[in-house]
Amino acid sequence: MDNRRFRFHWKTNTFAWLLLLPSLLFLFLFTFYPIAKTVKLSLFQADLATLVPVFIGLDNYTNLIGDEVFWKVMSNNLWFAIGTVPTSIILAILMAIYCNKAMRGTSMVRISFFYPTMIPMIAVANVWLFIYTPQYGLLSRLMKSIGQGDINWLGSPQYVMWAMVIMVVWKEAGYFMIFFLAGLQNIPHDLYESAQVDGVGRWTVFRKITFPLLMPTTLFVSIVALTNSFKLVDHIMIMTKGGPNNASNLLLYYIYESAFSFWDQGMASTLTVVMIGVLLLFATLNFFGLDKKIHYR
Amino acid sequence: MRLISNMSNKTILASLCLMLSITACSNNTAAPEDQSSATVSPSTAVNETNKDEKVELTFYYPIAVGGPLTATVEGMAQEFTKQNPNITIKPVYTGSYADTAVKTQAGVQSKNPPDVAVLQSTELFSLLDMDAIIPLDDYIAEEGGDSYLSDFYPAFLSNSQTGGKTYSIPFQRSTIVLYYNKDLFQAAGLDPEKAPQTWDEMRDYAKKLTKDGTWGLEIPVSGYAYWMLQTFALQNGNNLMSEDGKKVMFNTPENIEGLQYWSDLAKKDKVVPEGVTEWGTVPSDFLEGKTAMMYHTTGNLSNVKKNAKFNFGVSFLPKNKSYGSPTGGGNMYIFKDIDKKKQDAAWKFVQFMTETERAAQWSMDTGYVAVKKSAYETERMKKYTTDFPAALVARDQLEYAAAELSTHNNGKVIKALSDPIQAVLTGSMTPEEALNKAQEEADKALAPFNK
């Protein structure tokens, strides 16, 4: 009897493991193994001066603390996140509410809001490179026509970050809108009807019904937006190469530079470990902090 | 109704995993496996050249200037196989110079390097530190040693040589020249046949040429700040680094003066746009008439010739103590860790690609300077240069040209210099502070090589 139950357990377990195997295999190959390897390499000096990597313990991490470019990059990334995440989420909600209204031409509006998402980042960067070009770029002409001076957006340290933020918000908001649109359509109509019967104002409806019920979507979108703000790097390659003087450099681009321009793989791994740490921190905060406060129906 | 929350948790988890795998992957390519430097070349077994044995060579090459050049390169490779039926060339277009360097590095570490590749001439020390390339002196000796090398322009060879050995053969090389718009010169009352010769003249000319909507001069910055500083350094006396690639001389009074001159053009004289000017927009500004003059690579000559709707001239960069420009561009390298037979075949290919007639044709196709002196004696080149004398300017300037900035730990050293230059041009540092900082950072990056 016992034996049979054991076999039954064993059978179901094996079946479950078999089902999981393909994804586990890929997870292991492309996620866990590289992470372990990266953590290991971050403890080594592996650059052009050392043909065979030398174990140096935590020296890479101590060097990082003294590296002013690293701190510059981290604060840039922070500002980039602060600039892009809330703005694109608020815009996305507004756009979704607008698109959700039953009226003529909605699909046109939806498409026009969504289309920046469909363009590859490299193409977007090239388009915006032209928009930001001094003298004859689109923005420059616009500013001249309203009698303003010419600004070299990408060439000045005080503007370059804003230029990037605006572009990324433009690119991302439409994508997030889709999630909010789905969220909105999941909210039962009778809630709005009863609110209408009670004569509740529009702002209160949004505050008490729409926004709380959209919260799961907002959580999801905010994680995606936050991680995106650390993942986006293509545009830097095209537009500024991190300049002027690192004013637009972000963590992932600095990792790329360390690995493929300085060939300093120990340091690149160390930076990657920092990056993984930051991303895991966001995930944990969202899961264990915000998640508890969210009202699921 | 916990269903929804479960659902979204899963999606979140999935997206998180995806994102981790993306970041991890991008790093994994860089991870060095066991980098054992044990290189036992199997030369003993294959020294006798078997005539019937086929050799296939993988050839990495980047394209850095405009035009349908992949077809040209593939045509050259086929032509080579026609002449050497035993050797097939597999040309692999590998994107920009930086992409090519990344692919090559990945190949070297996975013990699967290309057999021969065109890489930036400044990669010399990086490739040596990776133990990736072979010296070519034995091959060169077979061809006649110094007499073979003397046909190459010395300014181009200087990036190939260190410690008395030659590691690469110049292939597509450039220098920086001054392009100027003759029509705008005329409109400003300047002699269109005479470009500014000195730093002072340049300032005067640029002042006269600067109008509303047109700059007097543009100097590209993004990505190439160090290269442009080299022009001012060389014109003011000295290059930025030592021949062994272990020392840099950034913060000399001459270089500070040079950088001061550059930043004054923007800040004081207001004849050059302030801040960081994009490398790629400078030629379009020039073609649009938004700048009357520009510093740019000779590699752009064909582009300007084809697209300029006005008369333009090309001249030496203006001098201070002397004329001067760094060289740039790519050389051909032969790799270690491959069969001796393949290396021999690769050498044949390198020679074929840099043959006098072919060097002349390649120069005409691209705008690069032909790497051999004899190329300018060929009929086709003579005809081309009589019709288009501008093509000779870069060649003539070679007399005053010197090696492009190339040191050990080159990536870091270049960034150590380029960032502070950008800081000067955007107004957050003085030239002296900037070059002192550059010197300090570069010394740090070079310290392990000076032990």
pLDDT at B21: 42
Least confident range from A100-109, A170-179, A284-293, B342-351: namely A284-293
Contacts of B409 in chain A (CB under 8 A): 47-49, 262
pLDDT at A292: 64
In a domain, A205, yes or no: yes
pLDDT at B79: 92
Residue B250 has pLDDT above 90, yes or no: yes
SS3 B18: helix
pLDDT at A6: 66
Residue B338 has pLDDT above 80, yes or no: yes
Tens digits of per-residue pLDDT, A211-241? 888 888 888 898 889 888 998 888 998 888 8
Q: How many CB atoms lie within 10 A of CB A46?
A: 26
For B372, residues 6+ apart whose C-beta sits below 8 A from its C-beta are B151, B152, B153, B354, B356, B359
Tell me the percentage of chain B whose pLDDT exceeds 70: 88
A49/B449 touch (CB, cutoff 8 Å), yes or no: yes
> How large is the average pLDDT for residues B10-15?
43
As given in the structure block, the two tokens for residue A274 are 């920092």
pLDDT at B33: 36
Tens digits of per-residue pLDDT, B106-122? 898 888 999 999 999 99
Q: How many CB atoms lie within 10 A of CB B341?
A: 20
Contacts of B1 in chain A (CB under 8 A): 296-297
Residue A23 has pLDDT above 70, yes or no: yes
pLDDT at B302: 83
B277 vs A155, A217, A252: nearest CB: A155
In a domain, A187, yes or no: yes
Kindly indicate the confidence band of residue A42, based on its pLDDT and cuts at 50, 70 and 90: very high
Distance CA B50, CA B379 (A): 38
pLDDT at B13: 42
Q: pTM for the whole thing? A: 0.83
A244/B1 touch (CB, cutoff 8 Å), yes or no: no
A241/B28 touch (CB, cutoff 8 Å), yes or no: no
- In DSSP terms, B141 is beta-bridged to none
CB half-sphere exposure, A27, CA atoms < 13 A: 10
Residue B14 has pLDDT above 50, yes or no: no
Kindly indicate the confidence band of residue A15, based on its pLDDT and cuts at 50, 70 and 90: confident
What does pLDDT average to over chain A? Answer: 87
Residue A22 has pLDDT above 70, yes or no: yes
Residue B4 has pLDDT above 90, yes or no: no
Residue B27 has pLDDT above 70, yes or no: no
**Domain housing A216:** 80-239
User: Which has more confidence, B380 or B367?
Assistant: B380
Q: Is the minimum CB–CB distance between B46 and chain A shorter than 8 Å? A: no
> How large is the average pLDDT for residues B224-229?
93
pLDDT at B51: 54
CATH number at residue A232: 1.10.3720.10
What does pLDDT average to over chain B? Answer: 86
> How large is the average pLDDT for residues B126-149?
91
> How large is the average pLDDT for residues B88-100?
90
pLDDT at B186: 93
Domain count, chain A: 1
Most A CBs within 10 A among B5, B18, B20, B108, hence the mutation to make, goes to B20
Residue B30 has pLDDT above 70, yes or no: no
pLDDT at A43: 93
For residues B426, B432, B435 and B437, what is the CA-based torsion angle, rounded to 10 degrees? -90
B23 vs A154, A245, A276: nearest CB: A276
Tell me the percentage of chain A whose pLDDT exceeds 90: 38
Residue B256 has pLDDT above 50, yes or no: yes
Kindly indicate the confidence band of residue B64, based on its pLDDT and cuts at 50, 70 and 90: confident
The letter for the amino acid at A238 is I
pLDDT at B124: 93
B420/A133 touch (CB, cutoff 8 Å), yes or no: no
Alpha carbon of A180: minimum distance to chain B alpha carbons (Å): 13
pLDDT at A3: 65
The letter for the amino acid at A160 is V
Contacts of A279 in chain B (CB under 8 A): 16, 19-20, 23
pLDDT at A296: 56
B411/A262 touch (CB, cutoff 8 Å), yes or no: yes
Contacts of A43 in chain B (CB under 8 A): none
Residue B91 has pLDDT above 90, yes or no: yes
A243/B276 touch (CB, cutoff 8 Å), yes or no: yes
In a domain, A276, yes or no: no
CA-only gyration radius of chain B, Å: 24
Most A CBs within 10 A among B100, B131, B278, B287, hence the mutation to make, goes to B278
A136/B288 touch (CB, cutoff 8 Å), yes or no: yes
Kindly indicate the confidence band of residue B383, based on its pLDDT and cuts at 50, 70 and 90: very high
Provide the strand spans (E) within A3-141: 44-45, 54-55
Alpha carbon of A100: minimum distance to chain B alpha carbons (Å): 21
The helices-and-strands tally (H runs, E runs) of chain A is: 15, 2
DSSP notation for A141-188 = HHHHHTTPPP--GGGSTTTHHHHHHHHHHHHHHHHHHHHHHHHHHHS-
> How large is the average pLDDT for residues B357-381?
91
In a domain, A279, yes or no: no
User: Which has more confidence, B389 or B35?
Assistant: B389
For B293, residues 6+ apart whose C-beta sits below 8 A from its C-beta are B178, B179, B180, B181, B195, B196, B205, B206, B209, B216, B217, B218, B286
Least confident range from A29-33, B41-45, B76-80, B444-448: namely B41-45
> How large is the average pLDDT for residues A181-205?
88
Q: State the angle between helix axes of B340-353 and B356-366 in degrees (0 to 180), rounded to the nearest 10.
A: 60
Tokens 């470019």 locate to A69
B130/A48 touch (CB, cutoff 8 Å), yes or no: yes
B1 vs A252, A259, A296: nearest CB: A296
Q: Judging by beta carbons within 10 Å of its beta carbon (0-12, 13-18, 19+), is residue A115 exposed, middle or buried? A: exposed
Kindly indicate the confidence band of residue B280, based on its pLDDT and cuts at 50, 70 and 90: confident
Contacts 24+ apart (CB under 8 A), B431-436: B431/B256, B431/B259, B431/B260, B431/B263, B432/B251, B432/B256, B434/B259, B435/B250, B435/B251, B435/B255, B435/B256, B435/B259, B436/B251
User: Which has more confidence, A288 or B240?
Assistant: B240
A223/B222 touch (CB, cutoff 8 Å), yes or no: no
pLDDT at B28: 38
Q: Is the minimum CB–CB distance between B192 and chain A shorter than 8 Å? A: no
Residue B173 has pLDDT above 50, yes or no: yes
Tens digits of per-residue pLDDT, A154-191? 888 889 999 999 999 999 999 999 999 999 988 888 88
In a domain, A98, yes or no: yes
In a domain, A32, yes or no: no
Tens digits of per-residue pLDDT, A77-95? 999 999 999 999 999 999 8
Q: Is the minimum CB–CB distance between B275 and chain A shorter than 8 Å? A: yes
pLDDT at A5: 65
pLDDT at B358: 92
pLDDT at A10: 78
Residue A152 has pLDDT above 90, yes or no: no
B24/A30 touch (CB, cutoff 8 Å), yes or no: yes
> How large is the average pLDDT for residues B147-170?
92
pLDDT at B376: 93
Residues comprising chain B, all counted: 451
> Does ipTM top 0.95?
no
Least confident range from A120-124, B62-66, B217-221, B285-289: namely B62-66
Alpha carbon of A155: minimum distance to chain B alpha carbons (Å): 4
Contacts of A134 in chain B (CB under 8 A): 273
In a domain, A24, yes or no: no
User: Do B105 and B130 touch, CB atoms closer than 8 A?
Assistant: yes
pLDDT at A241: 87
> How large is the average pLDDT for residues B128-151?
91
pLDDT at B56: 92
Alpha carbon of A65: minimum distance to chain B alpha carbons (Å): 16
SS3 A261: coil
In a domain, A158, yes or no: yes
Least confident range from A9-13, B316-320, B373-377: namely A9-13
Residue A103 has pLDDT above 80, yes or no: no
Kindly indicate the confidence band of residue B400, based on its pLDDT and cuts at 50, 70 and 90: very high
